Amino acid sequence: MYGLTTAAALVATAGYVLAAPSALVPRKTFQVSQIAKGKVFINGPTQVVKTHQKYAKLGATVPSDAAAAAAAVQSGSVAANPEQYDESYLCPVSVGGQTLNLDFDTGSADLWVFSTVTPSSESTGHARYNPSTSGTLKSGYKWNISYGDGSGASGTVYADKVVVGGVTATSQAVEAATSVSAQFTQDTNNDGLLGLAFSSINTVTPQQQTTFFDTVKPTLAKPLFAVDLKKGTAGSYQFGYIDSSKYTGSITYTSVSTANGFWQFTAGGYSVGTSTTTSGSISGASIADTGTTLLYLPDAVVTAYYAKVSGAKYDSTQGGYTFPSSSTLPNFNVNIGGTVFTVPGSYIKFAPVSSTTYFGGIQSSAGIGFNIFGDIFLKAVYAIFDESQSTPRLGFAKQ
């Protein structure tokens, strides 16, 4: 979760069986190296149900437990609605039967909500979760999180039913805020966060809790979620499946390190403008973070980018690079996993900070410790957060 923190800038701040490669029958004698199609586990209960159904005509009946287990194969899709200037995207979630609009954040791992236990002075204008309806207090459990933009929240923990796009977690840790920082109070579109980073950075004590994704993962058709953010209009998140209508071409996968709890990967070369021949490299670790508004890159890359924008400058009062409102910005191209993805210049012309000046969607990651591929990048691609392999991986495809 990381918006802009500057005075004048806009206040802005988720079963496979090894599919033996199809036997290739070469028309001609030539060497074919078979590439495993990737692991495809079959969901056991579904198979049991199918077998019984197949023999139903002979009188077999489907055992109820297998049917129930088969029903547990879930998938679903939920809208991601942009705030003004795409500062963040909010998704409707049912928490204990109450609908709250939450910021799905692949950069954190806590599901926390405004609630009836949040002081009204801090929660006016927000939908609030009432744990007394169906929540079970996890007695003595607490949480406390601070985000890179200086915002934060803390509170107590309940177990309750959480539904996202029809995918149900029957007993999810719901972190009710007893205190939130001013940035959250002020953004009345936002009723809380749904963390989609790795549960290893969940802040609940004395016992760490799982994210919504980790809670439902065993019941999903595929253990993955996909993100289709868009510029200035509603996108969506898919849980348990990839929607092939949401991208063109193929998906390029790249390996992920979970060491810091983030969806962390290594980005390659980059270029500025219409040439997609990339050079150089984007130094340091990078993370895919739906909860961060902008695209934070190494100083050298940012300097090279804004050198192509006349009138651009680093404005310390704004806390970032700005440029004249009349500017036409160049594209930013980045090689990830061998494929070059393009962020259109129009996406990087982020938001006005005055009648004559815009704030840039690309800013420096100096001081953060890693590069952050936030919404400015993610709205240009279809992103797959995939745990279907032996280690997690990120997939990217052109929208």
State the alpha helices, DSSP H only, in the chain. Answer: 44-54, 64-71, 120-123, 182-186, 212-216, 299-306, 345-348, 375-378
Q: Where are the beta strands (DSSP E) in 49-166?
A: 76-82, 89-95, 98-105, 111-113, 136-146, 152-164
User: Closest residue to ligand ZSY, Cβ-based?
Assistant: 148
Identity of the residue, 151 or 236, whose beta carbon is nearer to ligand ZSY in the bound complex:
151
289 is catalytic: yes
**Strands 320-324 and 313-315, bridge-based pairing:** antiparallel
Rounded distance, CA 290 to CA 317, Å?
Answer: 26
**Region of 142-150, 184-192, 243-251, 332-340 interacting with ligand ZSY (CB under 6 A):** 142-150
Q: For ligand ZSY, give the closer residue by CB, 247 or 350.
A: 350
368 binds ligand ZSY (CB under 6 A): yes
CA gap 109, 260 in Å, rounded: 12
CB 286 within 8 A of CB 265: yes
Site membership for ligand ZSY, residue 145 (CB under 6 A) = yes
- Site for ligand ZSY contains 141 (CB under 6 A): no
Query: Residue 174 CB, nearest distance to ligand ZSY (Å)?
Result: 17
Q: Which class for 79: exposed (0-12), middle (13-18), buried (19 or more C-beta within 10 A)?
A: middle
Which one of the listed residues 86, 103, 105, 160 is annotated catalytic? Answer: 105
Give the closest residue to 196 by CA, choosing from 4, 385, 391, 5.
Answer: 385
Q: Is 193 in the site for ligand ZSY (CB under 6 A)?
A: no
Q: How far is the CB of 292 from ligand ZSY (least distance, A)?
A: 5
Does residue 5 belong to the site contacting ligand ZSY (CB under 6 A)? no
Residue 203 engages ligand ZSY in binding (rule: CB under 6 A): yes
Q: How far is the CB of 215 from ligand ZSY (least distance, A)?
A: 17
Site for ligand ZSY in 256-275 (CB under 6 A): 262
Catalytic option among 149, 214, 289, 386? 289
Task: Mark whether 160 is an active-site residue.
Answer: no
Kindly report the backbone phi and psi dihedral angles of residue 164, in degrees, each rounded to the nearest multiple of 5, phi listed first. Answer: -125, 110
> Should residue 147 be labelled a site residue for ligand ZSY when binding is judged by CB under 6 A?
yes
**Min CB(15)–ligand ZSY separation in Å:** 30
Q: Which is nearer to ligand ZSY, 222 or 379 (CB)?
A: 379
Q: Which is nearer to ligand ZSY, 105 or 386 (CB)?
A: 105
Q: Pairing state of beta strands 192-195 and 98-105?
A: parallel
Reading the block at residue 378, the tokens are 């993610």
Q: What is the DSSP letter of 292?
A: B
Q: With CB under 6 A as the contact rule, which of the stretches 126-134, 144-152, 180-188, 214-222 interacts with ligand ZSY?
A: 144-152
Neighbours of 58 (CB within 10 A): 6
Q: How far is CA 97 from CA 93, 139, 171, 253, 278, in A?
A: 9, 22, 13, 37, 49
The one segment of 4-12, 38-46, 49-57, 140-148 that binds ligand ZSY by CB under 6 A: 140-148
Give the shortest CB-302-to-ligand ZSY separation in angstroms.
Answer: 15
Minimal distance, residue 56 CB to ligand ZSY, in Å: 50
Rounded-to-integer distance, Cα 158 and Cα 161, Å = 10
Strand arrangement, sheet containing 286-288: 264-265, 286-288, 371-373, 295-297, 362-364
CB of 213 to ligand ZSY, least distance (A): 15
Smallest separation (angstroms) from ligand ZSY to the CB of 301: 17
Angle (CA) 337-341-343 rounded to 5° is 145
* Crossing angle for the helix pair 44-54 and 64-71, to the nearest 10 degrees: 130
Q: Which is nearer to ligand ZSY, 75 or 172 (CB)?
A: 172
DSSP 326-337: T--PPPEEEEET
Residues 152-181 contacting ligand ZSY, CB under 6 A: none
x/- track of binding to ligand ZSY for residues 275-314 (CB under 6 A)? ------------x-x--x----------------------
Residues with Cβ within 8 Å of 185's Cβ and at least 6 positions away in sequence, in order, are 122, 123, 124
Please give the positions annotated as active site.
105, 289
Residues that bind ligand ZSY (CB under 6 A): 1-2, 107-108, 145, 147-148, 201, 203, 262, 287, 289, 292, 368, 372
